[in-house]
Structure 1
């Protein structure tokens, strides 16, 4: 069984210029948030389109970047 590993290279935040831990944990946090927020966003979208879209986009625009960027390796 292969594990899920996200690699981001070309960054200047660490000496090896590649990050593994931050992007991988960011993706896992994204997945957990998406499971919760996408159904809620879809329900809200029925009544308020903009707010529903913002809720559904939050895992990609808020959760993933915050988690991935908080861990420099």
Structure 2
């Protein structure tokens, strides 16, 4: 049953494996990163802290929110 599972052992669903949430989270992360990383790199040239915050947004905010929103 663990074949293809990303986060086995969670108690959120009967089979105790998460596949859909992390997969959609990664796709949302990738879509956000395509837009935010170049913008963050440009901003980083002038304002280092703000540029780092923009580039870290997909990993800090987008992926966890999508992953937690989908229980399976």
TM over 0.5: yes
| CA offset digits 1:6-25 (Å, max 9, x no partner) | 62112111111100100000
Pair 1:26–1:60, CA change in 2 (3 A): same
**Distance in 2 of aligned mates of 1:39 and 1:6:** 32
Whole-angstrom CA distance in 2 between matches of 1:9 and 1:44:
39
Contact 2:25 2:62 in 1 (8 A): yes
Structure 1: state its 5+ residue gaps: none
**Contact residue 6 and residue 24 of structure 1 kept, 8 A:** no
The equivalences for 1:22-33 within 5 A come to: 22-33=21-32
CA shift for structure 1 position 68: 0.8
Aligned residues: 69
Specify every segment of 5 or more residues in structure 2 that has no aligned partner in the other structure, as ranges.
none
